[in-house]
Amino acid sequence: MKKITLVLGCLILLNSSCSKKQNNAIPNYIEEPHSFSQPNDAAITHLDLDINVDFDNEIIQGKASYLIKNNEASQIILDTKFITIDKVQADGKDTTFTLGDFDTQLGSPLKIDINQNTKRITVFYKTTHKTEALQWLKPRQTTDKIHPFLFTQGQAILTRTWIPIQDSPQIRITYNAKVQVPSQLMAVMSAENPKTKTPDGLYTFKMAQPISPYLIALAVGDIEYKAVSNRTGIYAEKSMVDKAHYEFSDMENMVASAEALYGTYAWEQFDVIVLPPSFPFGGMENPRLTFATPTVIAGDKSLTSLIAHELAHSWSGNLVTNASWDDFWLNEGFTVYFEMRIMEALYGKDRANMLARIGRQDLEEEIEGFKDTPDDTKLKLNLKGRNPDDGMNSIAYDKGYLFLRTLEETVGREKFDTFLKSYFQKHAFSTIHTEKFVAFLNDNLLEKHGITFNTDEWIYTAGIPDNQSIILSDKFETVEKTVQQFVKTNTVDKTLTKDWTTQEWVHFVRNFPDDIKTEHLAMIDDAFNLTNSNNSYIAMVWYEQAINYDYHGNNIDTKIEDFLIKVGRRWYVSTIYKAFKRNDKVETALAIYKKARSNYHSVTANTIDDMLGYKQD
Ligand SMILES: [Zn+2]
């Protein structure tokens, strides 16, 4: 398999620069469908960013200057989308450039004329109101409601909408940045960060380890820092700092137990910024500074597996990165596996298995949703011509996890851990695609120990192979018996639920028996006040079921609407809109969506636009 990879690399080179003398310092990049760049000709290696964040006009303006590895090329190509290019320089002198045809997914290639000795290019640019990475929040959309807020979301291919860049995950660059913001605000990035505000709003940053462009991130707001340990801490708006600090007080323990499993944490600092509720993801693993939704602040530390997940990305994803979005499962499947191991190490097997069982049910529902397009349930995808976000679903996460868990149970934990440790070590600060992983797995685990395993079936075929690991949870069995008893006896016994965790409540709500009636839902709601739950996860699954079972008690319709207007986390809101759609209530969904849409980041809005067939007036 390794040989095939090398041949492939050379075939690609034939198209572009095979006739030229090869510069050995340039790695052979694979062909990648979501970037116009041709890094085998000329690749960026370091970025110096110098920008001004203009809240009045909601634009970022400045220059992106790159050191390049130049393989005697006459042109270097960057990805751009919805960016205005003012001027381009090569080694400090103005040079010519063209913007190629616009593609709705990929944007436009910025083709910059260089000569074979060019070492640095500089692009002077500004963002536009169409930018998809940036979300500019009005003060009313923040927690403290006094100052505006800005955050970026680069994954998968949105960094090109705020920085002209070779926006492919197989590119790795270091960066320095100079960022000017209004003096009452603080700027933080996926880099070495300030802990206090500067008097003039000017911030400088340094990311010394090479990262993929989708991991460049910026947040600007009226935020404060509070340390958890000497290498972990929290950024958040003033009224959120203490709550977040309490919720995430196990951060240092998480880093320590992750290191005990798979080796030294490579990024020195591990901080989390809690963003306003419109943040489209649970978390985003921006190196040194995870971006997180406030919906995981439950008050009882019950949703902190999200932090374990983002931390695990410091190895799988940030240190060893998927080479293309077709290999996204290598980022997410490994991360879910690692997350479960951290949770098991810190909180025990019961907790980890409950989380795994919830993921298993998500996977079942995802596969059912793809019954007309089974190819979408393969781990290795083919997303050419599609938005890479199409692959960001439970298949990569939960099927990827199930594959690795099954593999672990087949070979034994000790051998598997040794293998994973060497996998992270050998591929640190590099990118990997599925075929390279399979070859490494064969050489270093399966053939080495004479073990047969149906790897190809797991990776390249639809659905779930028969040898899948069976995930059992005694706690969930008890939950299932409890809900059946409540329905059968028409009474609620609160002593049976008094020590339940969030995971048990989620399982309870998602596994109502088929014969449950509206009266039972009202009985359960009155007893446990689910409609008014302060735990956003429990509220979300309860709202989904309320729509499924047509339950309208306790003002739940208003609560669902309020939730959808306030929260922008894509997983949560898409689950609820999907429930409306499934139950022939698209009109209701659209009526709410029209009020909520302006609060959503483009990542969430694009998903819901497609789901509901929404077109802007
Ligand atoms: Zn992840």
If asked whether residues 147 and 261 sit together in one domain, one would say no
If asked whether residues 308 and 446 sit together in one domain, one would say no
Q: How far is the CA of 564 from the centre of ligand 1 (A)?
A: 23
If asked whether residues 485 and 603 sit together in one domain, one would say yes
In a domain, 466, yes or no: no
In a domain, 440, yes or no: yes
If asked whether residues 246 and 384 sit together in one domain, one would say no
Q: How far is the CA of 312 from the centre of ligand 1 (A)?
A: 8
Give the range of the structural domain holding residue 526, as residue numbers without chain letter. Answer: 474-612
Q: How far is the CA of 481 from the centre of ligand 1 (A)?
A: 33
If asked whether residues 359 and 503 sit together in one domain, one would say no
- Please, what is the Cα angle at 162 between 291 and 376, to 5 degrees? 65
Cβ(109)–Cβ(83) under 8 Å?
Answer: no
What is the rounded (10 degree) CA torsion for 340, 341, 347, 349? Answer: 80
Q: Is the pTM of this model over 0.85?
A: yes
In a domain, 23, yes or no: no
If asked whether residues 391 and 493 sit together in one domain, one would say no
If asked whether residues 423 and 376 sit together in one domain, one would say yes
Catalytic residue (one of 310, 339, 344, 366): 310
Residue type, position 554, single letter: N
CA-wise closest residue to 436 among 344, 313, 529, 323: 323
Q: Strands 283-284 and 289-292: what pairing?
A: antiparallel
The string of pLDDT tens digits covering residues 415-449 is 999 999 999 999 999 999 999 999 999 999 999 99
Residue 542's alpha-carbon distances to 494, 513, 533, 559, in angstroms, are 18, 14, 9, 11
The secondary structure of the chain in percent helix, strand, coil, rounded to multiples of 5, reads: 45, 20, 35
Q: How far is the CA of 134 from the centre of ligand 1 (A)?
A: 20
If asked whether residues 271 and 351 sit together in one domain, one would say no
The string of pLDDT tens digits covering residues 128-177 is 999 999 999 999 999 999 999 999 999 999 999 999 999 999 999 999 99
For the domain that residue 121 is a member of, what is the CATH number?
2.60.40.1730
- Total tally of structural domains belonging to the chain: 4
If asked whether residues 453 and 389 sit together in one domain, one would say yes
Q: How far is the CA of 285 from the centre of ligand 1 (A)?
A: 7
The string of pLDDT tens digits covering residues 533-564 is 999 999 999 999 999 999 999 999 999 999 99
Catalytic residue (one of 397, 537, 572, 600): 397
Q: How far is the CA of 483 from the centre of ligand 1 (A)?
A: 32
- Whether the ω angle into residue 156 lies within 30 degrees of 0, i.e. cis, is yes
If asked whether residues 444 and 498 sit together in one domain, one would say no
Q: How far is the CA of 120 from the centre of ligand 1 (A)?
A: 34
The question of whether 397 is a catalytic residue gets the answer yes
In this predicted structure, the answer to whether residue 10 has a pLDDT above a threshold of 60 is no
The question of whether 339 is a catalytic residue gets the answer no
Residue 282's alpha-carbon distances to 24, 92, 167, 405, 537, in angstroms, are 41, 42, 23, 23, 11
The string of pLDDT tens digits covering residues 244-295 is 999 999 999 999 999 999 999 999 999 999 999 999 999 999 999 999 999 9
The string of pLDDT tens digits covering residues 320-360 is 999 999 999 999 999 999 999 999 999 999 999 999 999 99
Q: How far is the CA of 581 from the centre of ligand 1 (A)?
A: 27
If asked whether residues 129 and 186 sit together in one domain, one would say yes
Final residue belonging to a domain, choices 460, 487, 502: 460
For the domain that residue 283 is a member of, what is the CATH number?
3.30.2010.30
* 6-20, 71-85, 100-114, 283-297: least confidently modelled range: 6-20
Q: How far is the CA of 284 from the centre of ligand 1 (A)?
A: 7
- List, in sequence order, every residue forming a beta bridge with 122; answer none if it has no partner: 65, 89
What whole-number distance in Å separates Cα of residue 459 and Cα of residue 454?
9
SS3 of 363-409: the string is HHHHHHHCCCCHHHHCCCCCCCCCCHHHHCCHHHHHHHHHHHHHHHH
Q: Strands 108-113 and 173-180: what pairing?
A: unpaired
